[in-house]
Structure 1
Amino acid sequence: MSAQPKSPVTLKDVAIATGVHFSTVSRALNPATRTLVKPQIAARIVETARSLGYRPNSLASSLRTKRSGVVGVVVPDMASLLFPPILEGIEHNLLKEGYMTIVANSANDPERHRRILAGMMERQVDGLIIASATLRDPILDEWLQGPAPIVLMNRTDEFGRAPAVLSDDIRGIGLAVRHLTGLGHRHIGHIAGPASLSTGAARLNGFLLACAELSIPEAKRPVVTAESFSREEGRKACITLLAQNPGLTAIVAANDMIALGCYDVFAQQGIVCPRDVSITGYNDSPFMDVVSPPLSTVRIHQRDMGLEASRILLARIAGEDMPGDILLRPQFIARQSTAAP
């Protein structure tokens, strides 16, 4: 005869085992309220709960508190090397407060984005961090007045309808342009990201502003727009840029993947970097220091972006007003893909 399954351990069982009140056990086992309990008592309760095999009943807790304890995060490209450090920063803060995350990939598809947000709202997430917004994003209109607060990350929308955590892209691209002009380059092209995204638009604006400030003639600062922030679209844009500008000595790519697409073109066309053409990227994604040549790029503080986005979201969940955006200061990292012309 098979053994009967054990009944689940309850908060009452933990309270009896530790000799403290039920409400004290409840506070001690909730990361968001644990600080209300004396540290030595909280530690004893946590250890007792662990030894008894106590597992919180999330469904019961949700019914009682009207909160799911879950935050949704939407990214535009799950395969991008940009997002793992950002997601680690998000989880670092959320886990401390007892929240779990659901991460979904919009794949830059508006209909898929809409379905993901609808599904997360149906599951009653307590908040959303969205890294997949476009400048004129009609999908945001459907959810901004909903019960779950929203924070935008890495990208923002044209109207500033939700707080956003961003890298200062205008400053960042300016750092790349100034690095190249400091080496002596005066014919610098830009491969821009999609104009429908705040990152593409801001980095293009930063390129044009820096070139104007440095008195680079309009004819010597050509721009080609890539259809996406991908290696393949970077390759296509690079072919066009080089064909149209035979005297070009440097390229400012709107992100690292576009720069890697340029590396592919250099290899195909026998162009030696940086002897023939220098190039800079943007983001300082993982492994950009081990490609050949190691890529000079603009470093954005990815983990800090996740930390800030989750901090703001937690404040909004708690009912605090968090107006305005946060701009993180980027840093230029010089490596071996840039040299004097």
Structure 2
Amino acid sequence: MSPTQSRMVALRDVAAAAGVHPSTASRALNPAMRYLVADPVVARVQEVASRLGYRPNAVAMSLRTGRSRLIGALVPGIANPVFAPILAGAAEVLSSAGYALMVADPGDDNGRAAEFVEQLAARGADGLLLATASLRDDPALAACRARNIPAVLVNRGSEGMSSVVSDDRGGMALAVAHLLQLGHRRIALIAGPAQLSTGLRRSEGFEEALRAQGLAPDPALQEITAAYTREAGERAAARLIARHSDVTALSCANDLLALGAYDACRRAGLRIPEDISVTGHNDMPMVDLIEPPLTTVRIPHGEMGRQAAGLLLDRIGHGGGASDVVLPSALVVRGSTAAPRPTAPGAAPAARSARRRGPARPGHPEG
């Protein structure tokens, strides 16, 4: 059957070929209603629909059910490797339920994110997945509430909204505990933006891990970045290295910041991990291929997307209040961390300064 003919196949044609009533065929092809039809009948109707090239009329279905079967997703950087598995996991669940996913990228512009919410609402989106939310006074969340659109936050949290996040505090605590076990005591933090739940909670996890070992967090050893970018990580690491020559480890709030720290260390002539250790957070694709491979905190991004989509479908179907899902993190130890090199008392700053004047190590990681 040609593509032109396949567009002409109607539900009644499928029903007739399968030997069932059109209402039965409709239920068999609707993931939300399929449970009302016997499995052998569902299989027969689906086989006939596939063979005839039947495609549901989305406009007719929307008019009949009052739902568009469209879900919007906002991500702050579609090129960021972190979001690809989140979106793939969400699309897997949504597709199996008969929904299509539309993705918009407002970057870090909260006002633009709110505009996208309005546009998606105007197009009849049944719900939204938001990876852009700030902790407080987020315009996109305000637009969702004003429009009464079901929404679930993913990878970030905000009070009063359903969310699926990783254990940010626990994940950062794992990285710091690893550095402490190696013998590091002068550990600096390259933190994420304070207005984001990931930035705040990972900073809290960093400090809690130090206190658990009887060490007082030093604010002078913490740099808060304005964005999760490689460039921001390089600037923060350069400042820390310049001010504190005795720092032996950099704990970064995400992998892009860690890649920036690699750049700063190499420009300063510091070898990783011989002179300074570096940890990241996210285990984004290909950080195991840089030199040295990055020790980082692994987050189950695909599962995050799947659970967020499932939670959103439940809210669309049944409503209800806010609920939160926190997924566990795990530490992946690779080549960017090692025990600090022993030095004679009082010799560390001079030795580090001498190494810093040496030639930079060749190679440059790609973000």
User: TM-score band (shorter)?
Assistant: over 0.9
Match of 1:122 in 2: 122
Q: Match for 2:293: what amino acid?
A: P
- CA distance in 2 between partners of 1:144 and 1:41 (Å): 42
Secondary structure at 2:280 match in 1: strand
Secondary structure at 1:251 match in 2: strand
- CA spacing shift, 1:17–1:233, aligned 2, 3 Å: same
Kept in 2: contact 1:190–1:221 (CA 8 A): no
Match of 1:280 in 2: 279
Give the TM-score of the pair, scaled to structure 2. Answer: 0.88
Sequence identity (%) = 43
Kept in 2: contact 1:188–1:220 (CA 8 A): no
Give how far 1:31 is off.
Answer: 2.0
Match of 1:151 in 2: 152
Kept in 2: contact 1:186–1:220 (CA 8 A): no
Kept in 2: contact 1:189–1:220 (CA 8 A): no
1:93 partnered with 2:93: yes
Give how far 1:145 is off.
Answer: 4.5
Q: Report which stretch shifted further, 294-303 or 204-213.
A: 204-213
Kept in 1: contact 2:254–2:282 (CA 8 A): yes
Match of 1:256 in 2: 255
Secondary structure at 2:54 match in 1: coil
Match of 2:317 in 1: 318
Match of 1:8 in 2: 8
- CA spacing shift, 1:76–1:21, aligned 2, 3 Å: same
Q: How does 1:214-225 map to 2 (within 5 A)?
A: 214-219=213-218, 222-225=221-224
Q: How does 1:49-198 map to 2 (within 5 A)?
A: 49-139=49-139, 140-157=141-158, 160-198=159-197
Q: Match for 2:145: what amino acid?
A: L
Kept in 2: contact 1:193–1:199 (CA 8 A): yes
Kept in 1: contact 2:118–2:143 (CA 8 A): no
Match of 2:47 in 1: 47
Kept in 2: contact 1:315–1:322 (CA 8 A): no
- 1:266-286, CA deviations, whole angstroms, 9 ceiling, x for partnerless residues? 221211000000010000001
Match of 1:232 in 2: 231
- CA distance in 2 between partners of 1:187 and 1:18 (Å): 72
Give how far 1:141 is off.
Answer: 1.7
Secondary structure at 2:304 match in 1: helix
- CA spacing shift, 1:55–1:219, aligned 2, 3 Å: closer
Secondary structure at 2:193 match in 1: coil
Give the TM-score of the pair, scaled to structure 1. Answer: 0.95
Give how far 1:155 is off.
Answer: 0.8
Give how far 1:221 is off.
Answer: 7.1
Give how far 1:42 is off.
Answer: 1.3
Q: Match for 2:223: what amino acid?
A: V
Match of 2:356 in 1: none
- CA distance in 2 between partners of 1:218 and 1:180 (Å): 15
Kept in 1: contact 2:127–2:312 (CA 8 A): yes
RMSD: 1.6
Give how far 1:97 is off.
Answer: 0.5
Q: Match for 1:318: what amino acid?
A: G
Match of 1:297 in 2: 296
Kept in 2: contact 1:164–1:326 (CA 8 A): yes
Kept in 2: contact 1:70–1:100 (CA 8 A): yes
Give how far 1:222 is off.
Answer: 1.1
Give how far 1:19 is off.
Answer: 1.6
Q: How does 1:190-209 map to 2 (within 5 A)?
A: 190-209=189-208
- CA distance in 1 between partners of 2:128 and 2:218 (Å): 44
- CA spacing shift, 1:20–1:219, aligned 2, 3 Å: closer
